[in-house]
Structure 1
Amino acid sequence: MNYEGVLTKMQTENGSPIQYYLVFENDFLNVNQLLDKKISINFLRYQCLNCGLQKKIYRQGYCYDCFYSIPQAADWVINPEKSKAHLGIEERDLDYEKRVQLQPHVVYLANSSSIKVGVTRKTQIPTRWIDQGAHEAIEIVEVPNRYLAGITEVALKDHLSDKTNWRSMLKNDIKDEDLALWRNNLRQYIPAEAAEYFIENNVETNLQFPVLQYPLKPKTLNLEKSPFYEGVLKGIKGQYLLFADDTVFNVRGNEGYVVSITVN
């Protein structure tokens, strides 16, 4: 079987285990069905996810020109505390910024390599946690806009990380934590503007990833340096494909790359 298309982040369905799908323009692939099978990945060319042109990908699946012009890649996306739509101030496209920023957002704790704090739109729960490879997570506050979530995250970052150690996450070098206890202990650091939105009576969500074998020493597949790779798929976690030889492939990190995938 052969599949060809431009890579975008895998779509997911929460379950036991989580189901993963690679979606192309005219086809899709249930990646879970490929576990224990030999597959090959062949890098063909670039295709910007915004303009569709065959231009070298700069970041997040976009070419250089699109990355510095479209609202989907503006600074507030990575740094939500810089959101200004609630003030009616435009950064790149106010209509788009209002649609995305002025909706319920959640500040959460997720345990993927260690406990980290993060922000996402309410509609992206639990997708965001799955993409980060978190085996457990819990909401702390639910606020009406992205700015309030952003300033809450900044305040909590003084007391725990906002980063994931991807190697530890992929090796499954993790331990269970009492996230409800962490949530309650962090309540005192929530900014006054967001304090009324604290969530008191929720429980953590546990996630199960389809992994048969975790890598001992993960090594990243770089399609630019190694445009052809073949290996036996042993697992899927976060947005990574895990192979028997400890090679790991970050699908989301290769958005905008057109590939051919062959299942042997």
Structure 2
Amino acid sequence: MQFEGLLKKMQTELGNPIQYFGIFQQDVLNYNQLLNKQIEIQHTGYECLNCGKQKKIFRQGFCYDCFMSSPAVGDWIMRPELSTAHLDIEDRDLIYEKKVQLQPHVVYLAASSDIKVGVTRKTQVPIRWIDQGASSAISIVEVPNRYLAGITEVHLKNLFTDKTSWQKMLKNEVIATDLQEIKNSVKSRLPEEVLPYFTTDATLFYEMHYPVLYYPQKVSSLNLEKTAVFTGKLIGIKGQYLIFEDGTVFNIRTYEGYRVKISL
């Protein structure tokens, strides 16, 4: 059996375990059904997620020209404190920026390799946490725009990292902690303008259970530019990574915009 098409980040459904799906032009692939099976991944080309041209991918699934011009990859994506749509100030496309920035956002704590602080749109809960491979996560504040979320994250970066160690996460070297207790302890450290948005709903705590048969002791990342064809036995899926028996891990999010053949 063979699946062929454009790589995009895996779609997920919260469950025990989480379900992972690859959406291709002609097919939908449930990656969970590939566990304990030998699969081959072959790199066959490129296709920019923005313009659709068969141009080499520069970053985040975009070719160089689109990455430098598209509002979907402006600096405020990675640094939400740079958001300006609430001031009617355009970065690249004010209509797009208002659509994305002027909606409810959540600032959260997630337990993975360490305690991580982050920002996501409310509509991306719990998808964002699954994509990061978090074992658990909790909302701290829910604010009406991306800017307020960004300045909250900046304050909390003095206490927590905003990065995940992918190596530790994929070896399941996960920190054990009480996120609710930590959340309560940081309330006094929040910017005054977001205190009214502090969340108290206990249902905003999530635990994630990933489809992993066992975790490797060592991991190394598959690079499709150097290894155009890879074969291995799939033993797990976590975050946006496929985990193989030999310790090779494949970050599908990194290779968005790559065309591949997946053979069983």
TM-score bracket relative to the smaller structure = over 0.9
Q: How many residues align?
A: 263
Offset of residue 202 of structure 1? 2.0
**Counterparts of residues 148-163 of structure 1 (less than 5 Å):** 148-163=148-163
Measure, in 2, the Cα distance between the counterparts of 1:168 and 1:51.
36
Regions of 4+ moved over 6 Å? none
Matched, 1:167 2:167: yes
- For the pair 1:67 / 2:67, whether they are aligned, the reply is yes
Q: CA deviation at 1:246?
A: 0.4
Corresponding residue number in structure 1 for 2:190: 190
Superposed counterparts of 1:53-202, under 5 Å: 53-202=53-202
How far 1:201 moved relative to its partner? 4.0
Q: Give the Cα separation in 2 of the matches to 1:47 and 1:124.
A: 25
Shift of 1:175: 2.9
The unaligned stretches of length 5 or more in structure 2 are none
Q: How far off is 1:9 after superposition?
A: 0.2
Q: CA deviation at 1:25?
A: 1.5
Stretch moving more, 182-191 or 122-131 = 182-191
Partner of 1:40: 40
Cα deviation digits, residues 215-260 of structure 1 (max 9, x gap)? 2110000000000000000000000000000000000010010000
TM-score, length of structure 2 as denominator length: 0.98
Aligned counterparts of 1:257 and 1:66: Cα–Cα separation in 2: 15
Residues 1:254 and 2:244 aligned together: no
Q: Could you tell me how far apart the structure 2 residues matched to 1:21 and 1:134 are?
A: 18
Deviations 1:5-39 (A, max 9, x none): 01000000000000000111221100000000000
Q: Which amino acid aligns with 1:100?
A: V
Q: Secondary structure at the match of 2:69?
A: coil
TM-score between the two structures when normalised by the length of structure 1:
0.98
**Cα pair 2:135 2:174 within 8 Å, conserved:** no
Cα distance in 1, alignment partners of residues 176 and 17 from structure 2: 18
Percent identity (aligned): 60
For structure 1, the 5+ residue unaligned runs are: none
Deviations 1:177-208 (A, max 9, x none): 10001101111111111111011342521110
Q: Cα deviations across residues 123-161 of structure 1 (Å, max 9, x unaligned)?
A: 000000000000100000000000000000000001111
